[in-house]
Structure 1
């Protein structure tokens, strides 16, 4: 049902039990469970190992040596002082290390794809493959951090950007491998397949801190939290405007706190994922879950997104006290389709301030109109205390399937001052709306004349 240029104030009661209160106690439980890394007193300044912050010298070997020294000393802090440090190739983490990039320091990666070989096991848009190494890569590490007030520059705007128009063969091959359950050892892409690497990837890691750094010019996704848990991301900022520059992508991730982040990236600010299609459904024991997002400033394509690669399921997500600092296409966006399966459930969003968007709240089970045979379950989603100045397309969109309806959606205290279309709700049941105003608030009815 659609309403155009319309005030919409609706209070309705329903007969089913639906918990709509924001579960602050659950949030506290998750945050208190997350462990911050603790480091030994050993420190190494990369300039003491011969690093030059002249923006020209290749410091790859120095960072490798610093990591090796930390491994030998059972951990420590690698200090990157003021300067621009060129690194022609990836930095691979070891456990118990804090990479501290000080104010005025920049790590500037090369954009030569050959520098990121040999390939490593990674994930590309929800499918496990061997591909170019992420620029910063941690595999099976624990107690690790990237901190400081410096910058990581991925140099993604020229060579890596050119990969976008050439990626279809590799992308389609990866999806065929997913659907056909090709063994991991045979999923070798890399050179010639044009699948861009992530800027930072933590893969099968735990007790992670990313704090206060600035991320610029990523080749692809900026910060990928893959099969990892006990993660804190706070105080970081972005200027990353290349194709598919998602800000933060938790995927099969558990116990995650994202707070006080200032986004400015060309795609989703936070995109919560959990694998794609057949492979994702096979990993249903490890959904993305227990994720807290709070006190963030959104700017980019979409604010908080769940999907579309979410086939193992996403649950227990809590978003609060966030606002936009510029245009967003969509504020809160839940997206899946009939290829995915899995579920999205127990999602709570409150106290969000949006300025101008295309759509304020968008929930769809038919993303891109694709797929068949694996419709997703979307249920138990609560939105409260949300304001928006303008929605150039729609205020609220809910799209299920006739035989797989979206269920138990609560909209409480929502005010959208202007929308081209107020509400479009199809194939949804148990939708509770209370104090929802789209357009000008109605007053007492006028008298007959």
Structure 2
């Protein structure tokens, strides 16, 4: 081999290995850049407005009045004291408001779809459209929070649950409108289309805090961070086991900190998205980026997912110091297909403890084998200090395309103690493995036996 070529290969390998180390300074910079909301001293207790926490009385008008009073005062805190507060319809935020749900308090939403009309601008599985209002909804707001130690109950297990079997017509129409560039104002859904609303959605918002509350029984995705930035989600917990009950979905989101969250979800715990197909690619200037996920307990379908709706691109994601507290199908899951385009790059996953999963680390560019013409770029993905007690199917899976290979993957200090299939590495290049143990560790070789 030419010595100059060998030198360049060695320098490239060393640089690549260094880049694969967990970038603490970058994480600190992102967190420092996130601004917490600031509120005025004005407070209003909903009991003083006539609210009744008897689980029967409709308090919709009371919450609307509290928001209006805060808007008049240029912001403040709405206090929800102990009790069960039925609300027949959505809560729509205004700027500079902290909705504080105190310990022992529960907001319980109705499950009558008509209560969530008129239609609002929202998104459904990566496509912008008009649909039922999310149960808690903020559009173009700044400095907003949901805090306290109370509970938000979406009543998603009855009427909304029946929508899943009937959503096909609406789902396919939304995707067709996406692919054919139908103007968003003409994408009207709602009644007779059966697309369930999100529990909480922040759209085009900035300086957001969701802290310590418990989220239960969502109709659809639980917390959707859509086209928003400077977001802190910390100390919250879940028990939401209905169809598609993702825990947190950052989409076209920037500067996000997710920490100290206890997940228990019927779907992905964190699913990072960035729009779907044609519409997503048209929004390439607003990828999901600068997302930190740390000190979380995973339980549900998948721990951290990127995709499959990621067509505007996902970059600069940092996952550290997380573990499972129950079943996961997959620990870390990067998924896209040839309909999506876009990219996934600069992903760092460090210090993760998984108990029992089906697949431990899974990267695929061929999700469901669907699509053509828009293969995604996946590159610079780094896994380090990861343990898994048992993967009932596969330890590590990497699936690219012959003509669009997955590039620059590092796996450092990985231990998967038991698995059916150890490693599947297809159409990938520059995969560097250091101290990777799958199955029982090999000991020193034994001596030749005597004849």
TM-score bracket relative to the smaller structure: over 0.9
Paired residue for 2:154?
154
Whether 2:100 is the aligned partner of 1:96: answer no
Using the alignment, how far apart are the partners of 2:21 and 2:425 within structure 1?
A: 23
Deviation of residue 13 (structure 1)?
7.7
Whether 2:438 is the aligned partner of 1:434: answer no
Paired residue for 1:70?
70
Deviation of residue 448 (structure 1)?
2.0
Paired residue for 2:87?
87
Whether 2:404 is the aligned partner of 1:408: answer no
TM-score (ref. length: structure 2): 0.96
Using the alignment, how far apart are the partners of 2:408 and 2:245 within structure 1?
A: 32
Paired residue for 1:30?
30
User: 3-state DSSP class of the match of 2:163?
Assistant: helix
Using the alignment, how far apart are the partners of 1:288 and 1:127 within structure 2?
A: 15
Equivalences for residues 333-348 of structure 1 within 5 A: 333-348=333-348
Whether 2:322 is the aligned partner of 1:322: answer yes
Deviation of residue 446 (structure 1)?
1.5
Paired residue for 1:264?
264
Using the alignment, how far apart are the partners of 1:447 and 1:194 within structure 2?
A: 68
Paired residue for 1:447?
447
Deviation of residue 15 (structure 1)?
4.8
Paired residue for 2:364?
364
Deviation of residue 301 (structure 1)?
0.2
Using the alignment, how far apart are the partners of 2:190 and 2:277 within structure 1?
A: 22
Contact 1:13 1:432 in 2 (8 A): no
Paired residue for 1:119?
119
Paired residue for 1:3?
none
User: 3-state DSSP class of the match of 2:395?
Assistant: strand
Deviation of residue 242 (structure 1)?
0.0
Whether 2:290 is the aligned partner of 1:287: answer no
RMSD: 0.9
Using the alignment, how far apart are the partners of 1:254 and 1:127 within structure 2?
A: 18
Using the alignment, how far apart are the partners of 1:239 and 1:260 within structure 2?
A: 15
User: 3-state DSSP class of the match of 1:378?
Assistant: strand
Paired residue for 2:190?
190
Deviations 1:132-185 (A, max 9, x none): 000000000000000000000000001000000000000000000000000011
Contact 1:14 1:432 in 2 (8 A): no
Using the alignment, how far apart are the partners of 1:237 and 1:157 within structure 2?
A: 18
Using the alignment, how far apart are the partners of 1:177 and 1:392 within structure 2?
A: 40
Using the alignment, how far apart are the partners of 1:411 and 1:235 within structure 2?
A: 30
Deviation of residue 260 (structure 1)?
0.1
How many residues align? The count is: 438
Whether 2:47 is the aligned partner of 1:47: answer yes
Paired residue for 1:308?
308
Deviation of residue 410 (structure 1)?
0.2
Paired residue for 1:145?
145
Contact 1:390 1:419 in 2 (8 A): yes
Using the alignment, how far apart are the partners of 1:124 and 1:168 within structure 2?
A: 13
Paired residue for 2:4?
none
Paired residue for 2:221?
221
Deviations 1:184-219 (A, max 9, x none): 111001100000000000000000000000000000
Higher relative contact order (CA 8 A, sep 6+): 1
Paired residue for 1:296?
296
Deviation of residue 99 (structure 1)?
0.0
Using the alignment, how far apart are the partners of 2:184 and 2:265 within structure 1?
A: 31
User: 3-state DSSP class of the match of 2:160?
Assistant: helix
Paired residue for 2:181?
181
Deviations 1:105-146 (A, max 9, x none): 000000000000000000000000100000000000000000
- CA change 1:276–1:331 in 2 (3 A) is same
User: 3-state DSSP class of the match of 1:300?
Assistant: coil
Deviations 1:7-35 (A, max 9, x none): xxxxx989544111111000000000000
Whether 2:130 is the aligned partner of 1:130: answer yes
Deviations 1:353-384 (A, max 9, x none): 00000000000000000000000000000000
Using the alignment, how far apart are the partners of 1:126 and 1:38 within structure 2?
A: 31
Contact 1:228 1:253 in 2 (8 A): yes
Contact 1:235 1:260 in 2 (8 A): yes
User: 3-state DSSP class of the match of 2:269?
Assistant: strand
Paired residue for 1:349?
349
Deviation of residue 389 (structure 1)?
0.1
Is the deviation greater in 18-27 or in 140-149? 18-27
